[in-house]
Every structure is written in C-alpha cells, then in structure tokens.
Structure 1
Amino acid sequence: MTTIEDLSESQSVAEREEAQAEDHRVWDLPVRLFHWTLVAAIVAAYITNRLGVSYFRYHVWCGYAVIVLVSFRIIWGLVGTRHALFRNFVRGPVETFRYGTRLIGGRPAHYVGHNPLGAWMVLAFLAALGLQAATGLFGNDEIFNSGPLYGYVSKQASLALTSLHKKLFYWIAAFIAVHVAAVLAHHFLWREKLVHAMITGRKTINGSLAAESIRSSRSWLAAILVLALAGGLSYVVTHAPPAEDESTFQ
C-alpha cells in the first residue's frame, strides 16, 4: 500500500529531478537542417503539383531535394552524432510495445532522443518519402511531362510507377497527420517542447543524463555528404537516356 510518506518521498524525488534538469544539446545542426528543409521540400512539392503542369519542373526539383535529403539522413543514421544514429534510437518490438502501453496509460517513459514510436515513424517517413521521390523520377503525366529517368523504363512501367507515386502521397499525408498529432500531444500533455528542441537543438533533461548530450554537430562531414549526394544525383539525371517517345511530352 502506498502511504502518505511514500507519496511525499516520490514527490520530493520528482522535484529534485526537475530542479536538476538543464538544457543540453541533443540534436545536431545537420539533423535540424534536414528536418526543416524536408518540411519545406514537401510543402513546395505539394504546391507545385497543385499548380499544374506548367510548374512540373519545379515539382521535379523538389523531388531532387527530397532524394538528397532522405539519402543523407540514411547515411547520417550510420555515421552521424549520438542521437542521429539508428542503433541508438531504433528499439525492438518489445520495448516499443512497453512504451506504447505506458503512453496509453498517460505515463510515457522519457527519452533524450527519439522515443520508440517516434523512431519507427522516422523509418516509415524515410522509406515512404524516398520511394515516392524515386518513383517520380520515372513517371509521366501522359500529356506534356515526364520524369528525368523516364528513358530507362517502358511506358507501361512508367505508368505503374506514376500510379505508385500518387498513392504514396496519401500514406505520407497520414504519417504527417500522426506526427503532428504526436508532437502536439507531447507538448500539451507531457510538456515536452519537441518543436523548440528541433529548432535550437537543446532539450531540458535531468542532470544525470548530461553525458548523453552531444559536443559537436560534425557539420563539415554532413556538408561533404550532401555535396557528394547532390553531385551524384546530378550526374545520374544529366546522363540519363532520352525517352523513346519523347515527342509525346513536348
């Protein structure tokens, strides 16, 4: 049975931990720039698609940006800073289930980096966005425009990839809705300022976890990776064969 003394002691421990909490750098600059640039690229891709075929070129540019960003984040998940590494935040099904049950119960465990559900959302986002952007390279609208790599596939294959490209949008929209709802829930229910952390890179964590803060963003390495990826994509696009029925899209 929980006594008044036990409750008082638990409250004192919580108060001491709160008093010891300090701001520590958790998210490196490359991760933060990746996050907000990806948001801008997705919004711009949606707008340029809605504006019609005359904005197709800009829609393709947005797709290039998404490919470079997603590719960078995957590599950064292998060689980046502490909380960017997949091995440090992707948990197995058991721990993810336990976190989910505690979340439903209104007492979620707190993590310095991504929580288990957030980690799987990151992977789902990267997979869906990468696949959508990649399929767009081979797509066509059967009227004026075709993707830069259309020449590598048959028209039938291009139409199938275009269909997949369109369907993936709805999955991505659903992921975005869930992500925004989760961020709002953490902000209003558990007082976790996730948006602020993704802007400043700093989170308020208990002093005992200070060792998990990062000291450097390793931005120089991130810049090299982004330039290499952008250069590689540019080479692939500019050296792609022309479409056999290219006149269809003039």
Structure 2
Amino acid sequence: MTAVERDRPAASRHEPALASRRRVWDWPVRFVHWSLVASLLGAFMTNKLGVKYFAYHAFFGYAVIVLVVFRVWWGFVGPKHARFVNFVRGPKGVLRYLHATGRGWKTRHAGHNPLGALMVLLLLALLGTQAGFGLFANDEIFNTGPLAGLVSKSLSLNLTSLHRKLFYVIVAAVILHVGAVLAHWRLKGDNLVSAMITGNKPGHLVEAHEEIRSSRGVLAVALFIAISLGLATLLHFAPAADFDTAGL
C-alpha cells in the first residue's frame, strides 16, 4: 500500500498522469468528510447569530456526533482504505515517511499517508469532544444542552468554557490540515481535494489490487441510521436541567 521510490526525485511529480483512474475513497468516507465541513461551518454561523439560533446550533452538533461515531465504526468495518488498520501507522512509520519526504524521495500512498492519518485521528477526536461537551453546556441565558441535566451547574459551566475554547484548537487544526493538503498538492502533485470529491485517484498512484470495488453502501446506511436512532433515544430520555440558566 505504500511505496518509496528513492531513485526518482520529487521533481518527477510533473510527469503526465495515466489516463486510467482508480477508486480509493468510498462514498461514505466522502460523505462524512464534507458533511463534517458543512456541520462545523453551520455550528459556527448559528453560534454567531445568537441564542435564537440555539436549536440550529444544537442540530449541527448532533450531526457532528453522528458523523464522528459513524466514521470511527467505519474505520473497522468499511472498505480497505477507510479502515484504521490500513492507514494508521506508529511513530516509526511516521518518522520513515518524514525522512523520505525530507530527502525528496517520491512516496506513494493509495489512501492516507502517515501524517494524514494522524490528522484524521486528531480531527475526529477534537470534533467529537467539542460536540460532546456541547451536550452538557448552557449559554447562561435561556438554553441548555440536552444532557445538562445529568451534571451539576458548576460542571456544566466548566464544560461550556471548554466547549468555547476547544473551538480555537479545532480552527488551528483545520488550518494546518488545509495547509498540508495544499503543500501535498504542490510538492507531490497529488490532488487530495479532487480525490475526496470523486473518490478516484490517477492510475499511477493506485495499483490495481488497491482499488476498492464496493462502498458497502447498504452497511453504511444501516450503521448511520442505527447511530442516529441511538443518539435520538439518548436525547429523548435525558432529564431536563434542574438549574436556572438565567440565574447563573
């Protein structure tokens, strides 16, 4: 799944791509990726619009939770390039990748490269934690998160503070991610954005045996529905907060 071509300098990235293209990313992975982008933007905008848009802000938070939980499960049952075992590498693998990149060796990864894998894990952890904190938060005016009734008023306030501060960490991680994608495009000639839209990569970057044949769509839909119903059930039976937000 990974190749390092030491005898070919990075400049060879400008060589013409093969005419053929091969499928790498299944549609559930692409759906989660762009839905997380939309949900993060939606949560940010509805937060800036004020407390009247709290219900919409909460909706985007629920979407993030479902998407993150789905992606974690999909990392175990999805097609080959979606599975964590096929792209997450330990420290030695990351260091080898950094060494090869620093030496100008041309590296090839059908799926995520080792650094990209770390960013996937980081963003999933940050987004999931951020949305999870939001479930217990309150705006100190009118609104509370759906699970605020499960914690004390002081803990709710602490989680609200963490919910706000963690947003800036997420912004920094997103900027780093976008910068890395653009650098990868510029230095290696691998258009990761296009691949995450279409699911396909040029044939010279993906060997025939690395191409996926199915997105396992039926399994993906069933899993997505199950996670959504599970969250909806949890929220439905959660007790209401017994403290007065306006008096905090």
In the superposition, relative to structure 1, how do residues 142 and 19 fare at CA in structure 2: closer, same or farther (>3 Å)? closer
In the superposition, relative to structure 1, how do residues 205 and 153 fare at CA in structure 2: closer, same or farther (>3 Å)? same
Q: Matched residues in 2 for 1:74 and 1:208: separation?
A: 24
In the superposition, relative to structure 1, how do residues 208 and 72 fare at CA in structure 2: closer, same or farther (>3 Å)? closer
Write out aligned runs for 1:31-110 (5 A): 31-110=29-108
Q: Matched residues in 2 for 1:131 and 1:19: separation?
A: 40
User: Is the 8 Å Cα contact of residues 141 and 245 (structure 2) preserved in structure 1?
Assistant: no
Q: Matched residues in 2 for 1:140 and 1:214: separation?
A: 44
Q: Matched residues in 1 for 2:184 and 2:51: separation?
A: 40
In the superposition, relative to structure 1, how do residues 97 and 151 fare at CA in structure 2: closer, same or farther (>3 Å)? same
Q: Which residue number in structure 2 is paired with residue 113 of structure 1?
A: 111
1:119-166 per-position Cα deviation (integer Å, ceiling 9, x unaligned): 010000111100000010000111111101111000001011111111
Report the Cα offset of residue 183 of structure 1.
Answer: 1.0
1:151-202 per-position Cα deviation (integer Å, ceiling 9, x unaligned): 1000001011111111111111111001100111122222111111001100
Q: Which residue number in structure 1 is paired with residue 165 of structure 2?
A: 167
In the superposition, relative to structure 1, how do residues 193 and 172 fare at CA in structure 2: closer, same or farther (>3 Å)? same
Q: Matched residues in 2 for 1:100 and 1:125: separation?
A: 20
Report the Cα offset of residue 22 of structure 1.
Answer: 3.1
Q: Matched residues in 2 for 1:90 and 1:35: separation?
A: 17
5+ residue gaps, structure 2, are 1-6
Q: Which residue number in structure 1 is paired with residue 152 of structure 2?
A: 154
Report the Cα offset of residue 20 of structure 1.
Answer: 5.7
5+ residue gaps, structure 1, are 1-8
Larger radius of gyration: 1
Q: Matched residues in 1 for 2:155 and 2:167: separation?
A: 19
Letter in 2 for 1:196: S
Letter in 2 for 1:242: A
User: Is the 8 Å Cα contact of residues 110 and 206 (structure 2) preserved in structure 1?
Assistant: no
How many residues are matched? 238
RMSD: 2.1
TM-score, scaled relative to structure 1 = 0.89
Letter in 2 for 1:144: F
Q: Matched residues in 2 for 1:136 and 1:20: separation?
A: 47
**SS of structure 2 residue aligned to 1:110:** strand
Structure with greater proportional strand content: 2
Letter in 1 for 2:210: E
Report the identity percentage: 54
TM-score, scaled relative to structure 2 = 0.90
Q: Which residue number in structure 2 is paired with residue 22 of structure 1?
A: 20
Q: Which residue number in structure 2 is paired with residue 6 of structure 1?
A: none
Q: Which residue number in structure 2 is paired with residue 241 of structure 1?
A: 239
Q: Matched residues in 1 for 2:16 and 2:92: separation?
A: 29
Q: Matched residues in 1 for 2:62 and 2:8: separation?
A: 52
Letter in 2 for 1:121: M
In the superposition, relative to structure 1, how do residues 173 and 106 fare at CA in structure 2: closer, same or farther (>3 Å)? farther
147-156 vs 239-248, greater mean Cα deviation: 239-248
In the superposition, relative to structure 1, how do residues 19 and 63 fare at CA in structure 2: closer, same or farther (>3 Å)? closer
Q: Matched residues in 2 for 1:72 and 1:87: separation?
A: 16
